[in-house]
């Protein structure tokens, strides 16, 4: 059963200065979380970008990976986690008294020794309440433009993830996951009104696809859709697109960042959510009797 969407304020931290020192990255992320929360109208939910504690690249993931003490099917525990990133995120959420989506970090599962690109989520008491392992790995090759193969060192997650707050049910994904509309549609059908995907598009795909995909997922599912990127750093090995964004259920961009480090805020308005669903009732007009072969895995 879906809980009711209530108005809330979302803050996206388009984090800059992500360099080789994990300690510096964590220190800077912590300062920015405190800064994001120290405004007159404190945000209810703060979000960090994909891979905020490590440079983004398959060679870096195993080197920066931390075990976060997570075993599928077992309860999460931030205070017991030995992960320095989890410790920092948990204490920052508690100190600010806000919900926190901790971007993503490379995570090592000690049982399998596999490495994942993992998002962790904290409530205002600092409890670790949700985890999302990036499901669709970013393996692309556009000749002369960009070649990237996360699967060289990462394993894809196998579970859909969402969490409930007092103001919304929120669906999670990470970056490339947005290209697979099924994930967003299932989340919406499970009652998520807001989808938040930490992400790091690049200078080839970003200009054409970053906004288009977010507006598409928002309109398809009549949800708020948001992606939070690192700032662009042309001295880094991977050049992130930036332009962290929040889109409303009508597909309107309600907040967007530039390329540099920046914190943007968006007021999530329940009126537009209800009006959109009432005015264009696609949620009740679907023809699942006609879409039978969607679930058949036939490559195109
Ligand atoms: N970095 C990603 O996971 C995805 C991306 O950059 C793209 O889809 O384009």
Please give the full DSSP string across the chain, using - where no structure is assigned.
Answer: -PPPP--EEEEEEE-----S-HHHHHHHHHHHHHHHH-SSS--SEEE--TT-SS-SSTTTHHHH-B-----TTSPP-TTT---HHHHHHHHHHHHHTSEEE---EEEE-TTT--EEEEEEEE-TT--EEEEEE--S--EEEETTTEEEEGGGT-------EEEE-SS-EEEE--GGGGG-HHHHHHHHHTT-SEEEEE---BTTTIIIIIHHHHHHHHHHHTSEEEEE-PPP-TTSSS-B----EEE-TTS-EEEE--SSSEEEEEEE-HHHHHHHHHHS-GGGT--TTT-GGGGS----
Q: Is there a catalytic annotation at residue 50? A: yes
**Residue nearest atom 3 in ligand 1 by C-alpha distance:** 176
7-37 pLDDT, tens digit each:
999 999 999 999 999 999 999 999 999 999 9
**ipTM at complex level:** 0.98
Mean pLDDT of 258-284: 97
Atom 6 of ligand 1, nearest CA residue: 201
45, β-bridge pairs: 10, 99
From the CA of 140, how far away is ligand 1's center (Å)?
Answer: 8
Residue 2 has pLDDT above 70, yes or no: no
Q: Is 134 one of the catalytic residues?
A: yes
Average pLDDT, the chain: 95
Structural domain boundaries in the chain: 8-282
pLDDT average, residue stretch 97-113 = 96
By CB atoms closer than 10 A (0-12, 13-18, 19+), residue 143 is: exposed
| Residue 137 Cα: closest atom of ligand 1 | 3
Query: Which atom of ligand 1 lies nearest, measured to the CA of 241?
Result: 6
- CATH code: domain 8-282 is 3.60.110.10
Query: For the residues 214-220, what does the mean pLDDT come to?
Result: 98
Q: β-strands 224-228, 194-198: how paired?
A: parallel
Mean pLDDT of 218-222: 98
The per-residue pLDDT for 79 is: 66
Predicted TM-score (pTM) of this structure: 0.96
Contacts for 273 with CB less than 8 Å, ≥ 6 apart:
5, 193, 222, 223, 224, 248, 249
pLDDT in tens, 224-246: 999 999 999 999 999 999 999 99
Q: What is the pLDDT of residue 75?
A: 75
Helix 181-189 to helix 211-221 angle (10° resolution) is: 30
pLDDT confidence bin for 299, thresholds 50/70/90: confident
- Active site (annotated) includes residue 175: yes
pLDDT for position 1: 52
CB-based burial, 233-263: b 16+ in 10 Å, e otherwise:
beebebbbbbbbbbbbbbbeebbbbebebbb
Q: How far is the CA of 200 from the centre of ligand 1 (A)?
A: 6
Categorize the per-residue pLDDT at 57 as very low, low, confident or very high, splitting at 50, 70 and 90: very high
Dist. CA 93–CA 88, nearest whole Å: 9
Q: Tens digit of pLDDT for each residue in 154-187?
A: 999 999 999 999 999 999 999 999 999 999 999 9
């Amino acid at each position: 059963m879906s809980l009711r969407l209530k108005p809330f304020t979302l803050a996206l931290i388009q984090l800059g200065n992500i360099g080789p020192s994990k300690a510096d990255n964590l220190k800077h992320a912590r300062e920015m979380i405190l800064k994001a929360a120290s405004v007159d109208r404190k945000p209810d939910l703060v979000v960090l970008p994909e891979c905020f504690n490590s440079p983004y690249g398959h060679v870096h993931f195993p080197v920066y990976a931390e075990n976060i003490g997570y075993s599928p099917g077992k309860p999460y525990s931030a205070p017991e986690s030995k992960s320095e990133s989890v410790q920092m995120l948990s204490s920052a959420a508690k100190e600010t008294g806000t919900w926190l989506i901790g971007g993503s970090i490379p995570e090592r599962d000690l049982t399998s020794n596999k490495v994942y690109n993992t998002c962790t989520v904290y409530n205002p008491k600092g409890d670790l309440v949700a985890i999302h392992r990036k499901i669709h790995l970013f393996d692309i090759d556009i000749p002369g433009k960009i070649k990237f193969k996360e699967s060289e060192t990462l394993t894809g997650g196998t579970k859909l993830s969402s969490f409930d707050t007092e103001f919304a049910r929120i669906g999670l994904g990470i970056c490339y996951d947005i290209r697979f509309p099924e994930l967003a549609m299932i989340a919406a059908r499970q009652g998520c009104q807001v989808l938040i995907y930490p992400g790091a598009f690049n200078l080839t795909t970003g200009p054409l696809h970053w906004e288009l995909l977010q507006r598409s997922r928002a309109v398809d599912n009549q949800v708020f859709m948001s992606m939070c990127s690192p700032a662009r750093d042309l001295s880094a090995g991977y050049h992130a697109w930036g332009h962290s964004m929040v889109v409303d259920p009508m597909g309107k961009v309600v907040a967007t960042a530039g390329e540099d480090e920046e914190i943007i805020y968006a007021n999530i308005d329940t009126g537009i959510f209800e009006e959109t669903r009432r005015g264009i009732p696609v949620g009740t007009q679907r023809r699942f009797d006609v879409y039978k072969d969607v679930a058949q895995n036939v490559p195109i």
